[in-house]
Chain A
Amino acid sequence: MKMTGADIFVRALEDLGVDVVFGYPGGAVLNIYDSLFQNTKIRHLLVRHEQGGVHMADGYARASGKTGVCLVTSGPGATNTVTGIATAYMDSVPIVVFSGQVPTLMIGNDAFQEADIVGITRPCTKHNYLIKQTKDMARIIKEAFYIASTGRPGPVLVDIPKDVLTGSAEYHLPKEVKLRGYHPNYEGHQKQVENAIRMLLEKERPVLYAGGGIILSDSSSLLSEFARILGIPVTTTLMGLGGFPGTDPLSLGMLGMHGTFRANMAISHCDVILGVGARFDDRVTGKIDEFAPGAKIIHVDIDPTSIQKNVPVNIPIVGDLKDVLRKMIKLVKGTKEAAKYRKKIAPWRDQIAQWKSTHPLAYKQGKGRIKPQYVVEQIYQITKGDAIITTEVGQNQMFAAQYYLYDRPRTFLSSGGLGTMGYGLPAAIGAQVAMPGRLVVDIAGDGSIQMNIQELATAVQYRLPVKVVILNNGTLGMVRQWQELFFQGKYSQTCLPQVPDFVRLAEAYGAAGFRATKPGEVPQVLREGFAADGPAIIDILTDPDAMVYPMVPAGAPLTKMLLV
């Protein structure tokens, strides 16, 4: 039986197990919305801006591990998704974005609401498609989900012209995907794994350096097991937070520009790095020529392009972290060598413990203005470390990374690679949709939150009780911090004197609003906000002079940290 393209679209999503779509309708996708109208299996959430829709799909994917889906119309609907797609691309998040397109015969004619979105998103998608015939619809949708979720995950965009939706074809969803040019390699090379373990065991000052890949591959428990067997300290990147328990004695916390003193000292003085699912990016390495000068590097990643991109690697291993870590564990678990090794590297752990005690993360909360660090610590204590935290970008993001300890994967959602302000609120909404029973908190700044504040309406409409804690310092804090440190305190365009009254703004949207202006009020106000029935904004007036420390100035080696 023949079906219309729009019906094929909806049916294919159903058959692929899609239960939630974040979307915004428009002329080019009217037929899909007409098909969705009758549908009971797919839940559609009407967002308020397409960028918000993509971040929601992204937050949904990061929190659940499933592929997030976003549906938008042609032209501006499609171009509004670009920041969201680029965000997901940089952080390897599996999402599929469907955009409407003008009818095939009008493509290229500058038709109303036409944009070459396939051309625009080519460099920020893992792959993208323009469907030219209705008969290809089901196959391409299947391929899109397969590509997005396998190998190193990433966003895939599928552009669908209107006549492809109105045309008809037989429905046939292929059982398997066959792509000649796409074969992710999951199996780590056994010999290389053995070489890696041999190199590791020869050394005395090892560091495990774990990135977002640990979380994406669901291998954080394997990482913990491996680290504990050999007693190796673990540092994670921003993306890797939660991939190894932050409260574990072996945890060094985050490394890099705003990493802990002990993590940066450890990576700079170690003699071997085992990098897993991380990509040695500039925020992590600091000055690349002086990064880990005495260390041999073993690098495990599913994406061969990540290996040897920024630093020369001694032992590269391409494969799924799950497979490689299992193989590594098999080689050392219960062995005498492992026990000997744990003992051998005890002095190294002692050295790290000393770094920790001499230079812990620190701030002073006096009686005056509220310190943002204090707020994040309070959130940690009140939620008992059990919330899903999303962040915006800037100081709020770094404080959330430093002062909240993440023990479980998929509990810290942040735009790490692209650094997208405005990510946190829609990502929190997406996470809340995926995890209805969990407390989801967006740790925000007063600058970032205004970039996608409109999604508060989405949260209210669908009764998604996300909590937004605004560290409200009336400035663009991180940029101001750089101006303070590197531009003689000339605060060019970083003051936000006209910040809205967020409590009344929350109320205008139908959410609850709370405010704390003194340190003593913070715990109570946070508790009230978290206990509120629906979505809430908790506006906390914080000290604009607070700075994120430690800080490695851009281009400096990791040992040259600015400390308080």
Chain B
Amino acid sequence: MRHTISVLVENEFGVLSRVSGLFSGRGFNIESLTVAETLDPTVSRMTIVTSGNDQIVEQILKQLNKLVAVIKVVNLTGAETVDRELVLIKVNAEPETKAEVLRLVDIFRAKIVDVAPRCYTIEMTGDEEKINALIQLLKPIGIREVVRTGRVAIARGM
């Protein structure tokens, strides 16, 4: 099962490699990982999407907690959370397909952020299913490149 884990870490050099090294060294899987500073500039937040059975995920949470540079670990899976991902898609825009691209952008409430003579760059945020759906629909038109941020998540309310 997939899990989204939110990890508060000391904002110092080497922390990312401590965390990623823990995953690789113990054979845990990383599907995506994002890091950025929080409101407190001495603290960063990592959002890690991983998968494994209950026993593996329990180990992942405990092992993360064991790192001295890790301040707090929260498993957002199953909790009431909002999660989003941002994607940039560079797609072919030939005269005969431009209209279709624009229509899809409109339907998905995406944006076109760059226009070149024969291609558009689309920006969209959403959950993973929505992003996958857009990519599937754009594929027949000709996707040149896709860049995704990986998932970020936050607990609802509270």
Give the interface of A toward B (CB within 8 A).
118-119, 122-123, 126-127, 130, 147, 179-182, 303-305, 308-309, 312
Contacts and interface: CB of A to CB of B under 8 A. Distances in A.
Contacts of A182: 68
B25 interface: yes
Interface string B1-41: 00000000110011001100110010000000000000000
Interface in B53-67: 55, 58-59, 62-63, 65-67
B40 to A, nearest CB: 10
Contact of A181 (B10, B13, B25, B62): B10
Given A181-B67, A305-B63, A122 B58 contact: no
Contact of B58 (A118, A147, A180, A308): A308
B35 to A, nearest CB: 16
Contact of A305 (B21, B62, B68, B70): B62
A181 B58 contact: no
B122 to A, nearest CB: 38
How many B residues are at the interface, by size bracket? 20 to 34
B68 A179 contact: yes
A179 B67 CA distance: 11
Contact of B14 (A118, A180, A304, A308): A118
B68 A147 contact: yes
B21 A123 contact: yes
Given A122-B17, A308-B58, 19 more contacts: A118-B14, A119-B14, A122-B18, A123-B22, A123-B25, A127-B67, A130-B13, A130-B14, A179-B68, A181-B9, A181-B67, A181-B68, A181-B69, A181-B71, A182-B68, A305-B66, A308-B55, A309-B59, A312-B55
A351 to B, nearest CB: 33
Given A123-B25, A126-B68, A180 B17 contact: no
A135 to B, nearest CB: 16
Given A122-B17, A123-B25, A304 B68 contact: no
A182 B9 CA distance: 12
Most buried by A among B17, B25, B66: B66
Contacts of A147: 68
B65 A304 contact: yes
Contacts of A122: 14, 17-18, 21
A180 B62 contact: no
Contacts of B9: 181
B59 A305 contact: yes
A400 B101 CA distance: 75
A211 to B, nearest CB: 18
A122 B13 CA distance: 13
A119 B17 contact: yes
A182 B72 CA distance: 10
A181 B18 contact: no
Contacts of B13: 130
Given A308-B55, A309-B59, A303 B25 contact: no
A309 B60 CA distance: 10
